[in-house]
Structure 1
């Protein structure tokens, strides 16, 4: 496997990004992976490498590039409950500044960059995201339905933009929700909105989880839920993306 830090031209500058590619000389489907609010760090790079090891070209852009290269906010090796207030005090202004308009401006640049890499096979790509990144993934799929075949979002506020967003999505979707984030009643309402929009999807609450369950460097981490995430994500990519 080959990994490197790349720089993506955007309308507002250059976004640094972590990339992981199978190093076999072949072309592989592309996956745009949106970071969670904590940003690009060892735990997220490990997830990108894991996905690349299954035969995908993975690009993880630093969505906060306007404020500087990753890490924009310095983090401890392990993010515990006592660390969160100070970290979120620094992160929330960055998250709030990343508007839907910025998401859409960046998304086209990220897709252009990923799909023109020599390692990436022709055809549509997948977009995944964690926490705020899941919402960005859904926005990207809605804005580029002809370029995105699959979307997966985990412990993410995917309904924050309202059901109108879903009406523009043609990709196959998987949503993995934290039990601490979504009630069964709210899940039912979300599923009805997705059904009404004609979105092919699976959407489930991962039992016993709290927000951030995929992230191994936080106190929210749940190893079983992370494995469940791979068990849902990999088949979705396998059936929607074209392998050489």
Structure 2
């Protein structure tokens, strides 16, 4: 069950969609919350489908628009990178939506779960740009976030001063990193740097390499690593 929201933040109002479980998944144990951090294409049908699948497993899932500061845009798909104007708009919004902005926004996102009477630790998951946001959130709100996952996240251990690996020692929850083998935004040296930071920080973590997969794999690959499937030619629906 989906409900559209307007979330007040320190910088304005973010659109978001909230997905509740239905049927048997809505009964029994206390509900847990998950924030799904979008990729650079923004909220769209494929991400809503991912959110609904999580909700059908018994979670309350929040899918916020991280680019809300720019007003109306899109809709975009993986194919939008082939259009010069769309690509320029996407990259501008990506560059100008900092980790710090999303970190601050996450406080308001967590308040949504309080209003929905969602109890216990919250999970965060992100795709592409959202992967870094998930790790940053897990560090910034370590007492609230019990698990974080990144799928083909870019620049998780880069040279920028806000790179998530620098915050690894603040993370208390469990961490999963799904890495596309063919991904210039997260090369092997960054993977090694992140692994070392998580190990030194005492973080319970897994970094899993999806052999033969390219950035954007999450929209097309199976849910377990594969050594037989070829790398997708495009960015996929989960980029």
Say yes or no: TM over 0.5. yes
2:137 equivalent to 1:140: yes
Q: Which runs of 5+ in 2 are unaligned?
A: 226-239
The structure-2 alpha-carbon separation of the partners of 1:84 and 1:132, relative to structure 1 and needing over 3 Å to count, comes to farther
The CA deviation at 1:123 is 1.0
2:45 equivalent among 42, 46, 59: 42
2:170 equivalent to 1:173: no
The CA deviation at 1:108 is 0.6
Q: Which runs of 5+ in 1 are unaligned?
A: 216-221, 230-244
SS at match of 2:75: coil
Do the aligned partners of 1:32 and 1:58 also contact (CA within 8 Å) in 2?
A: yes
TM-score of the superposed pair, with normalisation by structure 2: 0.82
SS at match of 2:79: coil
The structure-2 alpha-carbon separation of the partners of 1:63 and 1:164, relative to structure 1 and needing over 3 Å to count, comes to same
TM-score of the superposed pair, with normalisation by structure 1: 0.81
The structure-2 alpha-carbon separation of the partners of 1:171 and 1:84, relative to structure 1 and needing over 3 Å to count, comes to farther
Match for residue 147 of structure 2?
150
Do the aligned partners of 1:4 and 1:18 also contact (CA within 8 Å) in 2?
A: yes
2:19 equivalent to 1:20: yes
2:51 equivalent to 1:52: no
Do the aligned partners of 1:152 and 1:175 also contact (CA within 8 Å) in 2?
A: yes
Match for residue 131 of structure 1?
128
Do the aligned partners of 2:169 and 2:197 also contact (CA within 8 Å) in 1?
A: no
The count of corresponding residues between Structure 1 and Structure 2 is 214
1:187 equivalent among 185, 188, 191: 191
2:116 equivalent to 1:114: no
